[in-house]
Chain A
Amino acid sequence: DQQVKQNSPSLSVQEGRISILNCDYTNSMFDYFLWYKKYPAEGPTFLISISSIKDKNEDGRFTVFLNKSAKHLSLHIVPSQPGDSAVYFCALAGSARQLTFGSGTQLTVLP
C-alpha cells in the first residue's frame, strides 16, 4: 500500500521548456513536503520544500505547488536545463517526522 506515488517513472523535456513532475499521496496527515534530486552514484540532495500551510513555494527556476484537497504535489522547473537531468523524489513528513519517499521520476532534458 503505497502512501506516496510518482506515477511517471520517466519524463523527457526539451531544453528551455517547462518540466512538471508530479506526486500524489493518500495520507492527509502529511504536513511537510520536499523534493530531492539524485544524480547517478550520488546521494539525494535537497531541492525545495513546502509546508502544508502554503500552496506554493518558489526558488529560482524551481517552484513547488501543493494542492491539499487533491493530495497532489508538483515540481515545476522553468526553464529546464540539461544539468537538471536526474531522478527526482518527492518526500513527505507526517506526525512521526519521518520522511516517506516516492519511487522517483527520471527527468531527461534534451539539448
Chain B
Amino acid sequence: NAGVTQTPKFRILKIGQSMTLQCAQDMNHNYMYWYRQDPGMGLKLIYYSVGAGITDKGEVPNGYNVSRSTTEDFPLRLELAAPSQTSVYFCASRTTTASNEKLFFGSGTQLSVL
C-alpha cells in the first residue's frame, strides 16, 4: 500500500517556466489537498478537492491550477513560475468519514524558482 505518492521530489525552475506536480493516492480517498510550506511557517492550503470533477480554492491559490479527473490523481499546475513559489509542496488525502480530519501526506516536492 503506497499511500500518497508525489513526484518529483526536487525541481528547479526558471522564472516564467511551467510545471506540473503529480500526486496520486491508492487509498480510495475522496478528499485531496495541496499545501505549501515556507521556511518557519505552517502549511498553507492551496487547493482542495472533495471528489472527482470537484475542486475549490484554499487560502493561497494564486498562481496555481488543479484538476481532478480521477479519484486517484490530483495534479497541481504552475503556469508562470515566480520566486515567491519557491517552497515545499505537500499533497494529502483523507476519507470522508465525519469528524475524521486525519490527513495522509505525501513526502513532498521541494521546488526552487530562480
Contact = CB atoms under 8 A, between A and B. Distances in A.
Contact of B42 (A45, A89, A98): A89
Contacts of B103: 44, 46, 99
A34 B42 contact: no
A43 B42 contact: no
A32 B42 contact: no
Contact of B105 (A9, A43, A51): A43
Interface in A42-71: 42-46, 49, 51
A44 B37 CA distance: 11
Contacts of A98: 45, 48, 58
B58 to A, nearest CB: 7
Contacts, number: 54
A6 B42 CA distance: 9
A6 B101 CA distance: 20
B107 A43 contact: yes
A20 interface: no
A54 to B, nearest CB: 12
B12 to A, nearest CB: 17
A43 B101 CA distance: 16
Contacts of A103: 40-42
A6 B40 CA distance: 11
B108 A41 contact: yes
A73 interface: no
Which of B42, B45, B103, B108 lies at the interface centre, i.e. has the most chain A CB atoms within 10 A of its CB?
B42
**Which interface residue of B44, B58, B103, B107 has the most chain A CB atoms within 10 A?**
B103
B60 to A, nearest CB: 12
B43 A101 contact: yes
Nearest to A39: B107
Query: 9 nearest interchain CB pairs?
Result: A43-B105, A101-B42, A101-B43, A93-B101, A103-B42, A46-B102, A43-B107, A44-B105, A43-B106
Interface of B: 4, 6, 35, 40-45, 48, 58, 90, 92, 99, 101-108
12 contacts: A34-B101, A43-B92, A44-B103, A44-B105, A49-B101, A91-B43, A98-B45, A98-B48, A99-B103, A101-B43, A103-B40, A104-B42
